[in-house]
Structure 1
Amino acid sequence: MGTRIDARPAIEGEEFSRVALSPAATALLQVLWARHGPLMFHQSGGCCDGSSPMCFPEGDFKTGGSDVLLGVFELPLNDGAVDDGGAARLGQIDFWMSREQFEYWKHTHLTVDVVPGRGSGFSVEAPEGKRFLIRSRLIDWPA
C-alpha cells in the first residue's frame, strides 16, 4: 500500500526530515484534498484532542511567530496520473507545531498515521470515521 513519505526539512540549517506520513495517512489525505482542497497540519499541544495532529484546510488555522514549520509534504496524486504542470502530485502540506511544544519534542521524529475512530470535530478527517495520530521515535541524528 505505498511507502512512507518524508517531509522536506523546513527548519533552517537542517537537512533531515523530522516528520513523515504513513501510507494510510497519505491515502486519507488524498481523499481529504479532493473534498477540501489544499490542507495543513498543526500538531495539537494537548487541548481538546490530546496531542493529535489536527488537519485543516490550508489557512483555516492561523500560524505565527509562536509556531515552528517542521516540514513540508509533497502529496502525490492517488492514481499515478500527472497534473497540468507535469508533476505527479496534488500539492504541498505544511506541518506546524507550537514553538513551546517543539522544545519538548525536538528530539523526536514524528510519523502521522491513521486509526479507526473519531477524534475531535476540529480536524477534517473526523467525519470519515478515522483519526490521525502521531507515532514517535527518537531522532537518529545524522553523523
Structure 2
Amino acid sequence: MTVEASVTIPGETLSRVALTDTAVELLEKLWLIHGPLMFHQSGGCCDGSSPMCYPAGEFITAEADVLLGVLDLSQGNPAAAGNDAPRLIEFWMSREQFEYWRHTHLTVDVVQGRGSGFSVEAPEGKRFLIRSRLMG
C-alpha cells in the first residue's frame, strides 16, 4: 500500500507523488524527533538527485520551486486517524528539475545506506530515494 499525495498543480487531476509503507514508517519516526517535515527534490548530481527531507520551513522555497503534492502520514493508518493534528508533508521540486520530470510519478522509498548529511534520515543509516514511472 502506498500513500498518495494530494493534487496541488492547477489543472491536474492525478497525484504526482506517493510514499511506500517503509517511507511512511521512517517519516513517522522522524516526525517524532524533528516535528513537521518537508521534502525538496532538486536537480543535479550526487545528493541533488535524492529527495531531501528537512524540518518544515528549514528549506526556503520560492518561485523557482513547484509544490508537487502534500502527503498525509495518517492516510491509510487507522491507528493515527483522529488522534492528532494531521501530519502533512509538502513535496517540492525545483522548477528546472520539474521540466525534466513532468511526465513522471514519483514514489519515495527507503533503502539502507547513509543519506546526505543535510537530510534528516542520515543518522538513521537509511536514505530516501525516488522510484519513478511514466504518468498515464
TM-score bracket, normalised by the shorter chain, equals over 0.9
Alignment of 1:19-98 (within 5 A): 19-76=17-74, 80-81=79-80, 82-84=82-84, 90-98=86-94
Displacement of 1:91 in angstroms is 1.3
Mapped to 2, the partners of 1:123 and 1:58 lie a distance apart of 12
**Is 2:114 the counterpart of 1:118?**
yes
Displacement of 1:79 in angstroms is 7.5
Q: Pick one of 93, 96, 100 that aligns with 1:100.
A: 96
Mapped to 2, the partners of 1:42 and 1:15 lie a distance apart of 22
Mapped to 2, the partners of 1:73 and 1:9 lie a distance apart of 10
Question: Based on CA coordinates, which of the two structures has the bigger radius of gyration?
Answer: 1
Q: Pick one of 122, 129, 133 that aligns with 1:133.
A: 129
TM-score, normalization by structure 1: 0.88
CA 1:66/1:37 → structure 2, altered by over 3 Å: closer, same or farther?
A: same
Q: In 1, are the aligned partners of 2:41 and 2:48 still within 8 Å (CA)?
A: no
Identity of aligned residues (%): 68
Displacement of 1:46 in angstroms is 2.2
SS in 1 for 2:63: coil
> Structure 1 runs of 4+ off > 6 angstroms?
none
Displacement of 1:48 in angstroms is 4.7
Displacement of 1:65 in angstroms is 0.4
Q: Pick one of 9, 29, 32 that aligns with 1:11.
A: 9
SS in 2 for 1:115: strand
Displacement of 1:28 in angstroms is 0.3
Mark the runs of 5 or more structure 1 residues left unpaired by the alignment.
none
Equivalent residues, number: 134
Mark the runs of 5 or more structure 2 residues left unpaired by the alignment.
none
